[in-house]
Amino acid sequence: MSASLRMRDKTPITVAWMTERGPSKVYPYSSLKQEETIMNGAEALLQTLIGCGVEVCFANPGTSEMQLVAAIDNNPGMRPVLTLFEGVATGAADGYGRMAEKPAATLLHLGPGLANGMANLHNAMRARSPVINIIGDHASYHLNYDAPLTSDLEGHVRLQSDWYRFAKSAQALAADGAAAVQASLNGAGKIASLVVPADHSWNPGGEPVSALPKPRRNTVAQGALEDAARALVSGEPTALLLGGSALRAENLDIAGRIAAVSGARLLCETFPARIQRGAGRVTPERVPYLGEMAADMLKDLKHIILIGSKAPVSFFAYPDQPSWLCPKGAEIYAFAHPDGDIDTALMALLDSVSPGQSAAEPVRQQASLPPVPTGALTAEGIGACVAEALPEGAIVSDESNTCGLSIYPMTSGAAPHDWLSLTGGAIGQGLPVAVGAAIACPERKVVCLQADGSAMYTLQALWTMARENLDITTVILNNRSYAILNFELYRLGVEQPGPSAASMLNLTNPELDWVQLAQGMGMPASRATSVEEFRSLYANAMASTGPQLIEAQLGGL
């Protein structure tokens, strides 16, 4: 079988297409006219996706997807990127969507393959990234036999999809693909999943269809605009809490002008999917991860205006600690939904508080670099080195976890860059998101700040970085433990964990050798145990291109 049949010589070849009752419709190849094409469902789907602007497919295919693999081979408009684990494929699609602002496709194998990718689909959903999952399924007539890989696929799909559909025929498959693209572009971005039974891929009769219109984003209601403007000029402590596309440089500038006129504070959500920051840009205060610190930051506010964000809540529940972090009595304004037209909403709000937009200049971040220390390697030392050599236009994929508490603020005055955060809290995001960001923006340097424990969830991403020759510098922050969990255990009152508890949170015995792990996947790698070593290795990496890994051994061990 082939994705499409084309006459290449006069050798008689017989091709049998499969139907739900087995092989039928035997075509002597020699009877086809020169260059005549019989298109199957997979070919029509792929050509439709390409026509809709989908250019990349992050794939970990299996037997049920072979027709789709063959179709990619015949259509150079789709770039296939092989990943060795489905969690890398879905995480890479997330990173691509955040930076390209359009969807990539994933190619996943049945229910178990989708399940393997589900944690990073959770993160992508929280990031509101546009992603299209193409999930192969058993041939429709084969499902009755309950083969070993048969599962409750609809149950799996429903968990991490904003939109899903099960293809019904080869003839309808292309239209299903166009609908999936449209669904993925709804609002800020959605997870669209299309399940493709194998026989609908290989059966003939498919025809590509045109792209569907991109959904329009809702505008802010006049009443909501008036309420927000009234709060801003009330004279009472007010904050704009920004998220989503409100954190793009142009929108931050508008928000900064609103703040300059009204005296409002500018805040951003704790884990933004993408924030454009650095010297010359408006820099909002980031709501802290720790609930008690966030509550303290917000305690004096009387009005909180949500623009592309949700009201802040504690990441986890703790004994005798509040889950809702906004101060009692404060008014919360759901002004601009993350899926709404945030650009227009911000401009309208600026015009309401400053007619004619003759607003004062916003406060911009000054170019500033923290001093680089010497000696044993610490998070502060890494942060200073990263800020010092970060190229303009760089993209930072941040899963630094505990180290990020120091690194993030230390890079605020670095060269202008984009910062991508762990939106949904499901660890194993940093490496795959870096892959997707690098493919979306090949002209930009990508820096992945990656905690060692989290990196082991999607270690296979290093292989894809090497295979695709992506310009990613991965910094493994090696503290040989799940440091965030040690911290959380302490917060629950366990100051001196016993040996059994401690053994569940450390990554020693044996220790992970990140240099060897990276080299085993074809990536150049080196190790730093002091600030001086790290500073030199990192500066060299920023001045060169291609994938490489630096193992930063914290504490100099």
pLDDT in tens, 456-475: 999 999 999 999 999 999 99
pLDDT score at 32:
36
Could you report how far apart the first and last alpha carbons of the chain are, in Å?
57
Tell me the pLDDT band of 26, cut-offs 50, 70 and 90: very low
Q: With 0-12 CB in 10 A as exposed, 13-18 as middle and 19+ as buried, what is 3?
A: buried
Strands ordered across the beta sheet of 303-307? 285-286, 265-268, 238-242, 303-307, 331-336
Q: Are 245 and 343 in contact (CB under 8 A)?
A: yes
DSSP-derived letter for residue 434 is H
- State residue 31's pLDDT score: 36
Helix, strand, or coil here: 341? coil
d(C-alpha 326, C-alpha 329), whole Å: 9
Residue 360: the pLDDT is 80
Least confident of 64-78, 226-240, 275-289, 348-362: 348-362
Which residues are 526's β-sheet partners? 550
pLDDT of residue 485: 62
pLDDT at 33 over 60: no
Question: pLDDT above 70 covers what percent of the chain?
Answer: 88
Q: What are phi and psi of 299, to 5 degrees?
A: -60, -30
238 pLDDT band (50/70/90 cuts)? very high
pLDDT of residue 23: 40
Convert the pLDDT of each residue in 67-100 to its tens digit. 999 999 888 999 999 999 999 999 999 999 999 9
Cα gap 309→71, rounded to integer Å: 40
Q: Say how far apart CA 21 and CA 475 lie, in whole Å.
A: 54
Residue 537 burial (10 A CB sphere; 0-12, 13-18, 19+): buried
Q: What is the average pLDDT value for the chain, to the nearest integer?
A: 90
Look at 268-272, 309-313, 411-415, 497-501 and tell me which has the smallest mean pLDDT: 497-501
- Residue 16 and residue 29: Cα distance in Å, rounded? 10
Q: Measure the CA–CA gap between 459 and 457, rounded to whole angstroms.
A: 6
Dihedral of CA 95/99/101/106: which sign? negative
Tokens 């600026």 locate to 350
pLDDT(9) > 50: no
Structure tokens at 64: 């049920």
pLDDT reported for residue 7 = 28
pLDDT of the residue at 491: 59
Alpha-carbon distance of 104 to 126, in angstroms, equals 17
Q: How much is the average pLDDT of 521-539? A: 97
- Both tokens assigned to 210: 């045109």
- As a residue count, the chain comes to 557
Q: What is the rounded average pLDDT of the residues 367-389? A: 96
Q: Taking a C-beta distance cutoff of 8 angstroms, is the pair 402, 100 a contact? A: no
204 cis-preceded (ω within 30 degrees of 0): no
Quick one: average pLDDT of 277-305? 95
Query: How many angstroms separate the most distant Cα atoms in the chain?
Result: 85
Coil, strand or helix at 550: strand
517: nearest Cα among 468, 470, 450, 471: 450
The first and second tokens of residue 557, run together, are: 């061990």
Per-residue pLDDT averaged across 43-62, rounded? 97
pLDDT of amino acid 325: 92
Which structure tokens are listed for 3? Answer: 């994705």
- Does the pLDDT of residue 15 top 60, yes or no? no
Average pLDDT over residues 315-339: 91
| Nearest partner of 159 among 213, 96, 117, 188, judged by Cα | 117
Provide the token pair at 540: 């060299």
H-state helical runs in 128-246: 153-159, 170-184, 198-202, 222-232
Determine the pLDDT at residue 8: 30
pLDDT at 25 over 80: no
Residue 509: pLDDT band by 50, 70, 90 thresholds?
confident
The pTM for the full model equals 0.90
Question: Which stretch of 144-153, 254-263, 287-296, 494-503 has the lowest confidence by average pLDDT?
Answer: 494-503
Q: Per-residue confidence at 359, pLDDT binned at 50, 70, 90?
A: low
Alpha helices (H) along 160-281 = 170-184, 198-202, 222-232, 249-262
Q: What is the pLDDT of residue 45?
A: 97
Instruction: Please report the pLDDT score of residue 511 as a whole number.
Output: 87
Residue 507 has pLDDT above 70, yes or no: no
Residue 388 near residue 413 (C-beta atoms within 8 A): no
d(CA 326, CA 328): 7
